[in-house]
Structure formats: structure tokens, C-alpha cells
Amino acid sequence: MDLLNTLVDKGLRRELPTREEALAVLATSDDDLLDVVAAAGKVRRHWFGRRVKLNYLVNLKSGLCPEDCSYCSQRLGSKADILKYTWLKPDEASQAAAAGLAGGAKRVCLVASGRGPTDRDVDRVSETIKAIKEQNEDVEVCACLGLLSDGQAERLREAGADAYNHNLNTSEGTYGDITTTHTYADRVDTVQKAHAAGLSACSGLIAGMGETDEDLVDVVFSLRELDPDSVPVNFLIPFEGTPLAKEWNLTPQRCLRILAMVRFVCPDVEVRIAGGREVHLRTMQPLALHLANSIFLGDYLTSEGQAGKADLEMIADAGFEVEGAGEVTLPEHRAAGGGCGSHAEAGCGSHADAGCGAHAEGGCGSHEGGGVCGTAGVPGAANEPRPDLVAVRRRGAGTDLAPNA
């Protein structure tokens, strides 16, 4: 297929595809899916080999968020039956992080719900970062705390943070349909603050709320322009009790096409499969490793993932290898130029209002819960609801039960 040959050539040269080419990837048929995966896989292997970076989430503060993001189980007015607790103490967070690191994670993502941190919150998280790094000198730490005020990114950097996550989530044109309590420009500003402070910036998207192909291409092109080191791709987890609980718009095939499009547009960036992979990719998860070079290990912020042991077996069975602590994730030209040097190449996921990703309750959606743009004519858009696959997290941080790692 001429399209795929062109995209591979551009990916190896780090050349931006045209919007029409990106849209064409999303419009390919299921009959062409393996060809699409193989082509994007060539770009992934060129820049990242067969390594898979493991990341581990620690939810420092769960629920009770004042923001009204439609997809989020922690949002204002959410009736989702999730864990709710205030800040973990530094030693509690360090213990939670240790479980993920023991399971093979290279990066710990510290997340807290809320609009953004107060200066006292930054102090609290700084203490937690120091506690984690005292026990694990080589660990990478990503902070994911929401919208940043002036000077806060610098303070986190001084405390030892390597990266900061804040996702765009969806296109600028539809962002107002998701939330009324902050703007798309607020999110861009926070990513830029992280960049300016020398933190490795991480910013991604959430798919599956009824957005159009044009919306997906818009947000990925915007991310390319922002130039984060890491782009987490989340797939909506339709939590009961949230406005988007009825949005089941993804098939495994569509998820793979989305990941392939992201890889072609962001060829040399860490692409992470974040929240929702178990719900929407299901048995096709191993194929997604040919497109993304990073995943979360174990559970997410408010939902449970597959067993950490199963993640490791999946990686090995698919012919990939876990990236070691001493290996640099990003290609040399990016690692050398990043604010954190070669140590902090990537970021986290897509919590939306709070930051680091993999909670992935949603993305571009209607504030009233109806979906923004519709999915008529989108190949493979219709999907059977699988609420049985949405499991609320009941273990790990904020509980007395052992975490999944």
C-alpha cells in the first residue's frame, strides 16, 4: 500500500505526515489492519527496538475533585463507587511505589486528583519524591498534579521530579464539551511550564467518547507541536456514575489504528498504552506492543488492570523485552536535548484533571454525557458494551490490601 510505504519513510526521517495521511490510517479497513500494524511497527522498532518501558501509578489522593470533566470517575458530581481518600503520607507512597518497582517498573507516576496543587501540596509531593528516591536511587518519578502555577514546576524539579504529565485529552475545538471548569489553553500552559522548568513533558489523549477522526488527528497534531517526550494514549473506561458511562465506541481494531496513527505522527516519542487497554484491546493487547513502546504495570488510578504477572508474560510471549533501569528510553537525539537529560525521557498518562494517565475514563465527550461528535461512518466504531470488564480498584494505595504489580 503506497500510503503505508510513504508513512514508514516519513517516520524513519521524523517527517510529519499530512493530515490527509493521518486520517487515511484511521479510515483503513479491518482487512488492512495487519499491514497497518506492520508498517507502524517498523517505525517503532527503528527508534525503540523491542524494548517495553514499564510505568507504575501511585494515586496519592483519590476522588473529591472540584473539576467537572465528563469522563472522570473522580469528577465533581461523580456517582462512581471508587475509593476516596486524602493524601498518602510519604512513607505510604514510597511503599506503594516499591511494589511497582519490584515488578519491573522503571518509572513511578505520582498522581493526585484536583484542579492543581497548592504550594503546600507541592511541599507534600516533594517530600514523597525524596522518600521514593532515597529507597530507589535510579527510579524515574513523574508528578501528575493538575494545572501548575508559576514556580511550581521548578520546585518539583528541585525536589527530584524527572517529568510532569498533563494531557490535552482531545481537540481544542471540542474541549469545551468535556469540561467547563478549565480550558484547553490552561492545559497547554501547564505542559509549557513543565518544559520550561526542565522537566520531561508528558501529554496525551483519550479516545472513545464519540469523537470524530478529525478530532483525533487534531489533538495528535497539537501534541506533535507541543513536542512532549511521552504521549500516553488512553481509551475511555465508561464508569457507571459518570456522564459517559454509555459510551462504548471502540473496537480492538479501532484502538490499533489509533495507536498506529499516533506512532506515524510522533515516530520518535515514547508512545504509551495507558488506561483502558484491557477493556478495549482485550486479547489484541500483544499486537499493540508493535505500536507502543510503553505500558502501565498493574492497576490504574481508580480501576484495576490485568495482573502484573500477566503483563510481563504478555511482553515476553510477544517477543519483546522489559526495558532495564540503566537503558535510555528515548533516541539519542531526544534524550540529549531533553530538560532532564537522558534519565527522564517520558511521562505518564491521562488522568485528565489531575495528571498522570492510565485512569483513562475518557476523552472527548459531551458534558451532558451524550458524546460530542458522533461515530457515524467511522470504520469499526460500533462496539458491544462490556461493563463486566470495568473493575473499580479495591487494592493497593488507600487500602490495606497488597497492590497489583
Least confident stretch, 187-196, 202-211, 306-315, 372-381: 372-381
Between CA 45 and CA 120 the distance in angstroms is 43
Least confident stretch, 182-196, 298-312, 330-344: 330-344
Other C-beta atoms closer than 10 Å to the C-beta of 340 total 21
Between CA 200 and CA 191 the distance in angstroms is 10
Taking 70 as the threshold, does the pLDDT of residue 377 lie above it?
no
Taking 50 as the threshold, does the pLDDT of residue 153 lie above it?
yes
Q: Give me the pLDDT at residue 242, please.
A: 83
pLDDT category at 235 given cuts 50, 70, 90 is: very high
Grid coordinates belonging to 324: 532495564
Other C-beta atoms closer than 10 Å to the C-beta of 215 total 23
User: What architecture (CATH level 2) is domain 2-389?
Assistant: Alpha-Beta Barrel (3.20)
Taking 60 as the threshold, does the pLDDT of residue 352 lie above it?
no
Tell me which residues are annotated as active site. 65, 69, 72, 109, 142, 202, 272
Please choose, from the candidates 66, 70, 262, the residue with its C-alpha nearest in 3D space to the C-alpha of residue 174.
70
Question: Identity (one letter) of the amino acid at 215?
Answer: D
pLDDT category at 367 given cuts 50, 70, 90 is: very low
Taking 80 as the threshold, does the pLDDT of residue 368 lie above it?
no
Q: Give me the pLDDT at residue 337, please.
A: 62
Question: Identity (one letter) of the amino acid at 24?
Answer: A
Q: Give me the pLDDT at residue 369, please.
A: 30
Q: Give me the pLDDT at residue 354, please.
A: 37
80 or 252: which leads in pLDDT:
252
Please choose, from the candidates 329, 366, 283, 405, the residue with its C-alpha nearest in 3D space to the C-alpha of residue 162.
329
Question: What are the residue ranges spanned by the domains of the chain?
Answer: 2-389
Taking 80 as the threshold, does the pLDDT of residue 221 lie above it?
yes
Between CA 156 and CA 142 the distance in angstroms is 10
Q: Give me the pLDDT at residue 76, please.
A: 65
Residue percentage of the chain with pLDDT more than 90: 69
Rg (CA), the chain: 19
Q: Give me the pLDDT at residue 280, please.
A: 95
Taking 80 as the threshold, does the pLDDT of residue 373 lie above it?
no
* Average pLDDT score over residue span 132-144: 94
Entry pTM: 0.89
Instruction: Encode the chain in three state secondary structure.
Output: CHHHHHHHHHHHCCCCCCHHHHHHHHCCCHHHHHHHHHHHHHHHHHHHCCEEEEEEEEEEEECCCCCCCCCCCCCCCCCCCCCCECCCCHHHHHHHHHHHHHCCCCEEEEEECCCCCCHHHHHHHHHHHHHHHHHCCCCEEEEECCCCCCCHHHHHHHHCCCEEECCCECCHHHHHHCCCCCCHHHHHHHHHHHHHCCCEEECCEEECCCCCHHHHHHHHHHHHHHCCCEEEEEECCCCCCCCCCCCCCCCHHHHHHHHHHHHHHCCCCEEEECCCHHHHCHHHHHHHCCCCCEEECCCCCCECCCCHHHHHHHHHHCCCEECCCCCCCCCHHHHCCCCCCCCCCCCCCCCCCCCCCCCCCCCCCCCCCCCCCCCCCCCCCCCCCCHHHCCECCCCCCCCCCCCC
Residue percentage of the chain with pLDDT more than 70: 88
Taking 80 as the threshold, does the pLDDT of residue 167 lie above it?
yes
53-67, 206-220, 369-383, range with greatest mean pLDDT:
206-220
Q: Give me the pLDDT at residue 70, please.
A: 76
Q: Which residues contact 239 (CB under 8 A, 6 or more apart)?
A: 73, 78, 80, 82, 245, 302, 303, 361, 390, 392
Taking 70 as the threshold, does the pLDDT of residue 379 lie above it?
no
Residue 298 Cα distances to 23, 138, 359, 405, angstroms: 32, 21, 12, 5
pLDDT category at 25 given cuts 50, 70, 90 is: very high
Residue 385 Cα distances to 26, 143, 237, 238, 243, angstroms: 22, 33, 11, 9, 15
pLDDT category at 356 given cuts 50, 70, 90 is: very low
Taking 60 as the threshold, does the pLDDT of residue 193 lie above it?
yes
Q: Give me the pLDDT at residue 210, please.
A: 82
* Average pLDDT score over residue span 283-294: 98
Between CA 233 and CA 264 the distance in angstroms is 14
Q: Give me the pLDDT at residue 340, please.
A: 36
Residue with cell 511521552: 230
Mean pLDDT in the chain? 87
Taking 80 as the threshold, does the pLDDT of residue 250 lie above it?
yes
Q: Give me the pLDDT at residue 51, please.
A: 98
Taking 50 as the threshold, does the pLDDT of residue 348 lie above it?
no
Taking 80 as the threshold, does the pLDDT of residue 372 lie above it?
no
pLDDT category at 380 given cuts 50, 70, 90 is: very low
Grid coordinates belonging to 78: 461523580
Taking 80 as the threshold, does the pLDDT of residue 39 lie above it?
yes
Q: Give me the pLDDT at residue 288, please.
A: 98
